Structure 1
């Protein structure tokens, strides 16, 4: 073999705890370096003495404490004479111990790869010697490292084989001396972190190859990265310094066109990560992310200077390098993984990617292989469940799809966009109908926020919430119970049965948006309440904030949610408070947050308790039965249109009754049935109360009751499996119970698909505001719409969601109601003058139009008929119009809106999953190890 001259350089900086073993490993090489020198960067732990003892004081260069790794190597090489031979430089950290044949293997590969200028070993962990750290490194176009390894992956030879890599670590890097001089060595701008990436990138731009040689092995402690020793070469935090250098390397070495894309991705990616870090209660990480990016953007001349120094070969080299970069799809998946880890309660983790992308040679095409991952994801039980529920929903709601306006029943025909809803929610005086200064219903803000996320389209947000409530509820129930019910078949059954309860199909048929939203949230309430009662203190406190926030959302749509849950919450706090004191505090937080966020709207409901039984939307007596039959209550059927027969949900009741026969887990059975009975009793009371001419709909209490039985059956499902395995009569009985239980979701889905959505909800609902009236209302004049025995006053357009629910001053409403009744009864011009005084310019009659009403309106001299058809009629008032003066906005309105927004943000941050930061290891001062002298 060709004889190479090797200069080994060991750089130390407070590395006494590792340096002894490192030097022993270097001196024990099967192919020893021809020249071994050291540099000490101002160590205070005796590292300089260890180097001098092992190498001789004449072979150690002492440098200031602020010297970086690259500067130290450059200083050493500047003082060494040339060898006059084919020289290689072997770079070693003080915390990197090479295997005794590492240098021999690197030189062997250099002999067989003449184009290779940089070679690096396979790196393993210093403490766990089987764990892989690096087998070559690549990055995406935002600078995020990708080792291609799973977390804590052991070395079993799965990554062996010499191959191309974008970069190898300077810990054990072997580089040709002439190539080092050609590219200028390590850039002193990078005192730590990413200096190896920048060097390898420039080497490849110069036309050379970078190889990772897996037959050469080294063990690395990564002391600087893991904060196992103080870092003094820079005033920045290590994480911030690493992120800054990562962005700088990519933006300095990419061609101009690729640079623009990388700049956009870095800006948007950093903003998103910062947001996740803030919400995840990691302010230090958020600050590091933004400061790192800002330090690049505010010094453009520094970046331009670096790009000029790297301009030679950059475009040509990128053709080869881009194959080794992390593919674009993998970068997006990494961002998705970060968001998913945040949503899963692990915090926004910025870990390295899990995919390995390296080419066997320069001409190899690198393509990500995600077929297996996609197949595994699609084959998950939860994914299949949601897909099946979505298919059932699309078929059952076939009559509602493709319409131009969703509305009917309790749902006002959906109009306007997100900006309209925000304007309605934030304004102090609502110039709609007869005018109102009351606070807009808080659920309008929730719909407005979701509409904003849906690109401003309110119809899309409402359609997803209402029409998609069945698959959403299935997904919610499946995910929320993953810690409560570990058995997957039981969880699938629970989620499918819950999603297809009569409450869900009845809410969709009647257009009950409030019930649909709460129906999706109920499983989450159960999961958070479980965490609150059984989790450790930090987790319980976080669950309390999260439960309070979501409880506020549910209460905004259905006010009955709060007292319904508060009773159980107080009972749970009393029961568990003696065992775990923090339960009382966490439950108090959960019950206090909705009051704070929904004030003063919630205070208005307390003054009028009957309104607690109403929910978001219109209140029509035709939407609920006058009195529920006993079998409807037992089948959790709340009455109204779109409900299946009572026997469809009989399987759930039978399975819950079978649980009463089990001797074990009696406490679970008692709690489950207790919750069910409590929910049914509340439903009975609610269904017998009439508010604003309509009976309250007991959908939410019955869904609450069904949830108790579903969780009960899910928790005792393994007992049925044990009975089936026992044989005999027990096996037969358990099999029958299982068959009956699984018949519930199957029958419910089949009936819903066959029946469709027969209720008043329509995909193409008629506009409440007559088209001709809207055309004539050029200046927003009011229109009195008479529908049967009731009336509505519209102000030039169809009302937005929530506007029809604003209370009107009783005196004004009484006067207008008397005038409307007078016109309909043909009593004379005083009533027309009263209407005109309140700005009513037209009278519209909704179909069907009664002949007696037409005759009465035609006989009124103050009215002029404009139109009459099967679609309705329209008359104009000839009286001079008055003007309803705008009432002054409350001085506290705007300040409280800002306070409310701040409270929502604060609670969201406190409820968000957090992640404890790893603390730096204590730096001990071990006695120097015994060294082998040169």
Structure 2
């Protein structure tokens, strides 16, 4: 097709009035080709008169206006006559979309060389038509669009032409409301121009069949320009022509009159179905289907049901009328002069929908503002600084973890092994029987079920899952700190906060001692503080006391409570005491706000924290129901506060504030963080000062808790690294606030001591980083290179029958959680019991029981010298070996004893029925001469008063968690070393054995016959129902959380006008 304009008509006719019933015709000019502006209007607002006047005032000499009234509620004749005398009105009897109305207007025009289609909410500059026509001739273009700007802010861009991807999704050439600095003023080829204002050559419009009337208000422009490309025409944008657009369609959509998602989806489906030839249609349509299906699934998962319904409706609408689609395809093939592969070159690469999500987040970050209380704006550093910071942070983590990227992390402290089969974890979760201690009955930890479910992500590899869960705590904590610092508005502040948190010795000390709970709190503390900060609504996390910072959405309090409850529950899976920690953080932050002089909204912090703790308790039920019995013991496990974290030493407050509680030699460099975190207190103003006070209050509270617990006033209590992780997060955030204060507040002061303080704080920060760098040298975070598993596995090979191992010693070096021996609270001696070898994940969660209490009393008597027959007390409990470690790992990996307990060894050496076994120098192993199997076969007449050490093993085969089988060939009695409970049943040849409690805690099972036997623990149906309720509670919590977020965002987005978007941008631009 020739792109040149046709000759003007020879005999033009003019209509006389705006309401004339005759068809409007165009006055011929000697030079200027006739142009008709076709304005489609339907119930326009107060902007309509301005729109009419702008078109009527065009400087182009041969321009006629035709207003197509698309069945407005009230006729528009009077308004048109008033706003544009001499214009024509074509009223349609039925409401139709823009495409059908524009076609009707085009059909009513005779003799025009060009048609300008536009909406009823646009305002033309006086020379718009002139510029568009000239550019059409100059560039031989068939379709030309102007630059679209905001209605009341002409320096803000809405569109400068548009691109599109292969699935007909629009790709904007500019960001919405981008500042116009003439950066897009060059004439350029585009894929399409919006129907808000577009000039189309009349002969081309007729040749390609006009707009597709099946389209509503979305997609008609893209599809028309697509056909123009197929026909060999050129589509341009001429930015010199400027048109202001009110975007009234957004308001109409907010009112429910328009469903933009449905229209967009229908337009995509129809365009892809008709614009491509057969080969490309077969390739691209499945890709569009997959994209829409993925978006539909995501919408359902995130509880955006209205969005999902719109997607499904648009999908169906786009595929209606097969006959009509075939006719449109035939039209496209008739006009085709350009193959699909060449049209594809004009489109953007990839999928614009996915690229738009990423670019939208980048734009949000780039335009982020962090206004101080006086209205100042913190200027962000270049984006490259963030990239560099993360490259260095990742390098630090990889360098420090490199040994464990290819090797298995040893069983140290709480880094227990996982069962090889995820089914074992699932069975343990669904059973009330627990192998912890000497076998007890009670609610199972939720972690068992969560780990069983998570193993699906590692294809059933529980060892890989364990490795990931340990190492993932490091980057999760770093990302959390980066996110916490975002509302501050300074990229440099985020970088400083990130490195301050990574460099805290808490990370290395927790790794070195195998304190998994502390690592979990380290990972989630920044996230917890961030949620509480947003719940407080205190600036910059809200509008109280200042302005809202970047990246802080306005959410209701319930959203924060549920979200924090889920985070708390996740933390409590491996660190049950996190439930208490979260409540404490909320109270400390509230107190800090009061001390900082900002009482507004203070109550929201403790309400959110306590509410979240309650939500977490519900999500972790029925496990948390068992906390009623000795809650501190179950929340914290055995006390690890023999000293400020390093075993066998007294608490040193100076070491405590330096976080010097482990193998990392911090020294005076630890004071560097204190200096850096103090800067905001000394020079900060406004919300920076208030939040610095809150952070220091939280840090002081964490230090006080550790010190008080170390005095024995709170016992038992978890490892000091757990509360210190909270203090580290608070000080790292305070350090970030100090950087923000340096950028914003310091310039307001005259030169003096504050500038000197800033230099000292900066120097202290860099000195503080040095020990962390040194900690990465060994590549394993100071963990031992091996563990005691091999030594204990050898014990298993020596033993014929199920047995238990008793671990005794300093709680800092025991490879499991447990209990404190009564009477040793001042210098704790802890004990724990593992089943058939090294400890497993079940042994992380202490649970009181009758047999365990008796074991604790027996140990206390032995340590006090009141007993020399400890083995006789341990034998009926199935304890075959007593192990006393004095360091975290075996020699020579850990060369020197770290927690020697000579008093424990002396007491055990005095026992007449315990004998030392040769082994690794790092641990002393005693063999119990009075041991009897956990499941022992006794004489039929046995009364259970004494369990002989030579008893045979009963029911050797383990069929599942709490289920065993075998055969009983002769009349006998089965002894089970576990807390007596009616849930245990022994079936022998179909007959149920009688159960009797013996030894004050265990049980005898007397079968009435012989034959094949099965011993199992049957969990009550009510407990199983509780587990089902727990799963439902998790699903509901997540669903409600997402639903609240979606509803609030959708409501705000629908009510949002262009003027509000401009207001949010603020008066200052951020150079990103």
Query: RMSD value over aligned CA atoms?
Result: 5.1
Aligned counterpart in structure 1 of residue 620 of structure 2, from 598, 608, 615: 598
Label 1:750 to 1:281 Cα distance change in 2 as closer, same or farther (>3 A).
same
Residues of 1 paired with 2:53 and 2:291: CA distance?
44
Aligned counterpart in structure 2 of residue 501 of structure 1, from 497, 501, 504: 504
SS of the residue corresponding to residue 380 of structure 1 reads helix
Residues of 2 paired with 1:230 and 1:310: CA distance?
36
Q: Within 5 A, what are the aligned runs for 1:530-541?
A: 530-533=533-536, 534=538, 535=542, 539=555, 541=557
Greater helix percent: which structure?
1
- How far off is 1:316 after superposition? 4.6
Query: 2:160 corresponds to which residue?
Result: 135
Query: 1:793 corresponds to which residue?
Result: 835
Instruction: Establish whether residue 387 from structure 1 lines up as the match of residue 391 from structure 2.
Output: yes
Kept in 2: contact 1:227–1:921 (CA 8 A) = no
Aligned residues: 838
Query: 2:946 corresponds to which residue?
Result: none
Residues of 2 paired with 1:99 and 1:194: CA distance?
26
Label 1:764 to 1:818 Cα distance change in 2 as closer, same or farther (>3 A).
closer
Instruction: Establish whether residue 545 from structure 1 lines up as the match of residue 562 from structure 2.
Output: yes
Aligned counterpart in structure 2 of residue 697 of structure 1, from 709, 716, 719: 719
Residues of 1 paired with 2:314 and 2:725: CA distance?
50
Kept in 2: contact 1:782–1:839 (CA 8 A) = no
Query: 1:349 corresponds to which residue?
Result: none
Query: 1:926 corresponds to which residue?
Result: none
Query: 2:344 corresponds to which residue?
Result: 322
SS of the residue corresponding to residue 553 of structure 1 reads helix
Instruction: Establish whether residue 111 from structure 1 lines up as the match of residue 137 from structure 2.
Output: yes
Aligned counterpart in structure 1 of residue 43 of structure 2, from 14, 19, 26: 14
Query: 1:192 corresponds to which residue?
Result: 217
Label 1:800 to 1:283 Cα distance change in 2 as closer, same or farther (>3 A).
farther
Query: 1:650 corresponds to which residue?
Result: 671
Instruction: Establish whether residue 249 from structure 1 lines up as the match of residue 291 from structure 2.
Output: no
Query: 1:467 corresponds to which residue?
Result: 471
- How far off is 1:328 after superposition? 1.2
Query: 1:874 corresponds to which residue?
Result: none
Kept in 2: contact 1:410–1:620 (CA 8 A) = no
Residues of 2 paired with 1:567 and 1:230: CA distance?
45
Aligned counterpart in structure 1 of residue 527 of structure 2, from 519, 524, 528: 524
Residues of 1 paired with 2:267 and 2:589: CA distance?
52
Residues of 2 paired with 1:502 and 1:214: CA distance?
58
- How far off is 1:504 after superposition? 1.1
Aligned counterpart in structure 1 of residue 783 of structure 2, from 759, 763, 766: 759
Query: 2:1002 corresponds to which residue?
Result: none
Q: Within 5 A, what are the aligned runs for 1:341-360?
A: none
Residues of 1 paired with 2:748 and 2:51: CA distance?
63
Aligned counterpart in structure 2 of residue 410 of structure 1, from 392, 405, 414: 414
Query: 1:366 corresponds to which residue?
Result: none
Aligned counterpart in structure 1 of residue 1019 of structure 2, from 888, 900, 903: 888
- How far off is 1:461 after superposition? 5.0
Query: 1:683 corresponds to which residue?
Result: 706
SS of the residue corresponding to residue 416 of structure 2 reads coil
Query: 1:40 corresponds to which residue?
Result: 69
SS of the residue corresponding to residue 227 of structure 1 reads helix
Query: 2:486 corresponds to which residue?
Result: 482
Query: 2:572 corresponds to which residue?
Result: 555
Q: Within 5 A, what are the aligned runs for 1:71-220?
A: 71-78=100-107, 83=111, 87-114=113-140, 116-220=141-245
Kept in 1: contact 2:158–2:176 (CA 8 A) = no
Kept in 2: contact 1:518–1:557 (CA 8 A) = no
Residues of 1 paired with 2:65 and 2:741: CA distance?
71
Kept in 2: contact 1:597–1:900 (CA 8 A) = yes
Kept in 2: contact 1:42–1:62 (CA 8 A) = yes
Query: 1:902 corresponds to which residue?
Result: 1035
Query: 1:609 corresponds to which residue?
Result: 631
Residues of 2 paired with 1:657 and 1:525: CA distance?
22
Query: 1:817 corresponds to which residue?
Result: 877
Residues of 2 paired with 1:210 and 1:491: CA distance?
45
Residues of 1 paired with 2:309 and 2:226: CA distance?
29
Residues of 1 paired with 2:697 and 2:535: CA distance?
20
Query: 1:865 corresponds to which residue?
Result: none
Residues of 2 paired with 1:519 and 1:8: CA distance?
65
- How far off is 1:45 after superposition? 3.9
Task: Name the structure, 1 or 2, with higher relative contact order (CA <8 Å, separation 6+).
Answer: 1
5+ long unaligned stretches in structure 1: 347-374, 843-878, 923-934
- How far off is 1:523 after superposition? 1.9
Query: 2:994 corresponds to which residue?
Result: none
More deviation, 55-64/523-532: 55-64
SS of the residue corresponding to residue 218 of structure 1 reads strand
Alignment deviations for residues 696-739 of structure 1 (CA, whole Å, 9 cap, x no partner): 42211222234444455554567889599977887667644542
Alignment deviations for residues 153-204 of structure 1 (CA, whole Å, 9 cap, x no partner): 2444322233322112234333333332322211111132211111111121
Residues of 2 paired with 1:748 and 1:466: CA distance?
19
SS of the residue corresponding to residue 146 of structure 2 reads strand
Kept in 2: contact 1:494–1:710 (CA 8 A) = yes
Alignment deviations for residues 773-822 of structure 1 (CA, whole Å, 9 cap, x no partner): 89x9xxxx985465878864359xx9874476485975599776346369
Label 1:55 to 1:456 Cα distance change in 2 as closer, same or farther (>3 A).
farther
Kept in 2: contact 1:723–1:730 (CA 8 A) = no
Label 1:820 to 1:130 Cα distance change in 2 as closer, same or farther (>3 A).
closer
Label 1:651 to 1:15 Cα distance change in 2 as closer, same or farther (>3 A).
closer
- How far off is 1:6 after superposition? 3.7
Query: 1:288 corresponds to which residue?
Result: 310
Residues of 2 paired with 1:343 and 1:883: CA distance?
63
- How far off is 1:416 after superposition? 5.0
- How far off is 1:895 after superposition? 3.0
SS of the residue corresponding to residue 1034 of structure 2 reads helix
Residues of 1 paired with 2:930 and 2:325: CA distance?
84
- How far off is 1:531 after superposition? 2.6
- How far off is 1:469 after superposition? 3.5
TM-score of the two chains, using structure 1 as the length reference: 0.75
Kept in 1: contact 2:621–2:1030 (CA 8 A) = no
Alignment deviations for residues 562-617 of structure 1 (CA, whole Å, 9 cap, x no partner): 22342453466688697548626545533422222222212312312243453799
SS of the residue corresponding to residue 1053 of structure 2 reads coil
Residues of 2 paired with 1:755 and 1:556: CA distance?
28
More deviation, 116-125/724-733: 724-733
SS of the residue corresponding to residue 263 of structure 2 reads helix
Residues of 2 paired with 1:74 and 1:728: CA distance?
74
Label 1:31 to 1:654 Cα distance change in 2 as closer, same or farther (>3 A).
closer
SS of the residue corresponding to residue 1021 of structure 2 reads coil
Query: 2:818 corresponds to which residue?
Result: none
Label 1:103 to 1:281 Cα distance change in 2 as closer, same or farther (>3 A).
same
5+ long unaligned stretches in structure 2: 9-32, 369-380, 545-553, 809-831, 856-873, 882-912, 915-926, 939-950, 959-1009, 1059-1072
Kept in 2: contact 1:6–1:35 (CA 8 A) = yes
SS of the residue corresponding to residue 248 of structure 2 reads coil
TM-score of the two chains, using structure 2 as the length reference: 0.66
Alignment deviations for residues 253-292 of structure 1 (CA, whole Å, 9 cap, x no partner): 2455655665555455446656766787865445434433
Kept in 2: contact 1:637–1:643 (CA 8 A) = no
Kept in 2: contact 1:206–1:317 (CA 8 A) = no
Alignment deviations for residues 373-412 of structure 1 (CA, whole Å, 9 cap, x no partner): xx964x224x433332332332333332312566444212
Residues of 1 paired with 2:336 and 2:629: CA distance?
73
- How far off is 1:148 after superposition? 1.0
Alignment deviations for residues 539-560 of structure 1 (CA, whole Å, 9 cap, x no partner): 4614333333222222332222
Label 1:314 to 1:702 Cα distance change in 2 as closer, same or farther (>3 A).
farther
